[in-house]
Structure 1
Amino acid sequence: MSTSEQTGTIHADDGAVLADVAGMLRVILDEYGPDDTEIGMDTTFTGDLELESIDLVTLAGELQARYGDRVNFAEFVADMDLEEIIALTVGRLVTHVVMCLNSPENSPEAG
């Protein structure tokens, strides 16, 4: 994330959030043993990373620890059907996180 000195607001970008999320996923994947899977915007949680539902719960906890209440993974997936969750990509999550972090409600002035 970068900070604008003029406004004092936080501006998240895809690259920074992707790096954060990829780091979280590497920690989760490391529990199964070393994994050198490339994690990019098109990487799927189920097909490419073979994450299970408990892994997604762990990811939700990591997102909460990193971003606080600004990003709620449970709300993000709540309106998805099973097929959407199975097809969920890292990029879709990254886009959601960036939108949440850049939302006017999450600016320092709103707090």
Structure 2
Amino acid sequence: MNSGQPTTPAAANEEEVFNEVVGMLQAVLGDYGLDEAEITMNTRFHEDLDLESIDLVTLGGHLEARYGDTVNFAEYLAGLGLEQIISLSIGQLVEHVAACLRDSEEH
């Protein structure tokens, strides 16, 4: 029963968002044995983590559960070209999420 509101206070800075995104990736990848030490802001979803489109959908679900309507991952991806999606990095997603959170705090 997600009312569109975050279930916990929104992370305010990129380091907090990064840690939350890594946690979400661990949940998405589960048995693949994601090594946190290998995850950086430059880690790419496709090339480095081998995420497939279904994994991105699952990640989007985790983002929605955590941030509610504040962060619309599907809309973000829709605004990117195919090459941009293929080369998308954790850092780009973290920057997007942090910007959405800052924007929501200002309104």
* TM-score of the alignment, normalized to the shorter chain, above 0.5: yes
What TM-score results when the alignment is normalised by the length of structure 1?
0.81
| Cross-structure match for 1:47 | 47
Structure of higher RCO (CA pairs closer than 8 Å, 6+ residues apart): 2
* CA–CA separation in structure 1 for the residues paired with 2:98 and 2:35: 25
1:19-70 superposed Cα distances (whole Å, 9 cap, x missing partner): 000000011111x432325211000000000000000000000000000000
Any conservation in 1 of the 2:14–2:98 contact (CA below 8 Å)?
Answer: yes
Q: Displacement of 1:12 after TM fit?
A: 1.2
**Letter matched to residue 56 of structure 2:** L
Once superposed, which parts of structure 1, at least 4 consecutive aligned residues long, lie more than 2 Å away?
A: 32-35
1:62 aligns to what?
62
Aligned residues: 97
Distance 2:32 2:77 in 1: 27
- 2:11 and 2:53 map into 1 onto residues whose CA distance is 30
SS in 1 for 2:32: coil
User: Quick one: distance in 1 between partners of 2:97 and 2:32?
Assistant: 27
Unaligned runs of 5+ in 2: 1-9
Which residue of 1 is the match for residue 6 of structure 2?
A: none
Shift of 1:75: 1.0
Query: What TM-score, normalized to structure 2?
Result: 0.84
